[in-house]
Structure 1
Amino acid sequence: MMNTRINIILIALLAIAMPSFGQAKLPKLMVVPSDVWCNEHHCMDTVDIMGIKEMIPNYKKALQENRDLMAVISKINTLMAERGFPLQDLSQTIKSIERINQENSVMRTKTSGAGLAESPVDRLRRTARADIILEVDWGVNVNGPKRSITYNLRGLDAYSNKQVAGAEGTGAPSFSAEVPVLIEEAVQDHMDSFTSLLRQHFDDLLAKGREVVIELQIPDNGQELDFETEYDGKELGELITEWMANNTVEHRFNKSDATENYLLFDQVRIPLYHTNGMAMDAEGFARELRKYLKGAPRNISTKVVNRGLGRCLLIVGEK
Structure 2
Amino acid sequence: MKKIFITTLLIFTSVIFFGQAKKPTIMVMPSDQYCLSRGFKLTFTNQGMTQTLPDYRAAMQSDPNLRLVITKMGQMMADRGFPLKDLEAEMRNMMQESAESSMLTSSSSGSEMAESPIDVLKRVAKADIILDLDFDLKAQGPSKYMVFNLRGLDAYTAKQVSGVAGAGRPSTSATPEILMEEAVLSHMDSFNAGLMRHFDDLFENGREVKVLVKVFNNWGENLESEFESAGETKELSFIIEDWFADNCVKGRFNLSDATENQMRFEQVRIPVMKLQSGRERAVDTRSFVSDLRKHLTDKYQIQSKLYLRGLGEAWLILGEK
TM over 0.5: yes
Counterpart of 2:307 (choices 301, 305, 314) is 305
Where does 1:266-305 land on structure 2 (aligned, <5 Å)?
A: 266-275=266-275, 276-296=279-299, 298-305=300-307
Contact 2:44/2:52 (CA < 8 Å) preserved in 1? yes
Deviation (angstroms), 1:318: 1.3
What amino acid is the match of 1:312? A
Question: Matched residues in 2 for 1:9 and 1:190: separation?
Answer: 36
Counterpart of 2:226 (choices 207, 226, 229) is 229
Counterpart of 1:78 (choices 75, 78, 82) is 75
- CA separation of 1:173 and 1:13: change in aligned 2, threshold 3 A: closer
Question: Matched residues in 2 for 1:154 and 1:265: separation?
Answer: 27
Deviation (angstroms), 1:103: 9.7
Q: Which deviates more from structure 2 when the two are superposed, residues 144-153 or residues 17-26? A: 17-26
Match of 2:256 in 1: 256
Deviation (angstroms), 1:273: 2.3
Question: Matched residues in 2 for 1:227 and 1:180: separation?
Answer: 58
Where does 1:60-71 land on structure 2 (aligned, <5 Å)?
A: 60-71=57-68
Question: Matched residues in 1 for 2:186 and 2:15: separation?
Answer: 28
Deviation (angstroms), 1:107: 3.6
> What 5-or-longer segments of structure 2 have no aligned partner?
none
Aligned length: 315
RMSD: 1.8
Superposition TM-score, scaled by structure 1 size: 0.93
Name the SS of the counterpart of 2:273 in structure 1: coil
What amino acid is the match of 2:62? E
The percentage of counterpart residues that share the same residue type is 43
Deviation (angstroms), 1:18: 3.6
Contact 1:211/1:267 (CA < 8 Å) preserved in 2? yes
Superposition TM-score, scaled by structure 2 size: 0.93
Question: Matched residues in 2 for 1:51 and 1:190: separation?
Answer: 44
Counterpart of 2:193 (choices 185, 191, 196) is 196
Q: Which deviates more from structure 2 when the two are superposed, residues 219-228 or residues 36-45? A: 219-228
Match of 2:47 in 1: 50
Question: Matched residues in 2 for 1:218 and 1:309: separation?
Answer: 22
Deviation (angstroms), 1:20: 2.7
Name the SS of the counterpart of 1:202 in structure 2: helix
Question: Matched residues in 2 for 1:77 and 1:101: separation?
Answer: 26
Larger relative strand fraction: 2
Contact 2:46/2:113 (CA < 8 Å) preserved in 1? no
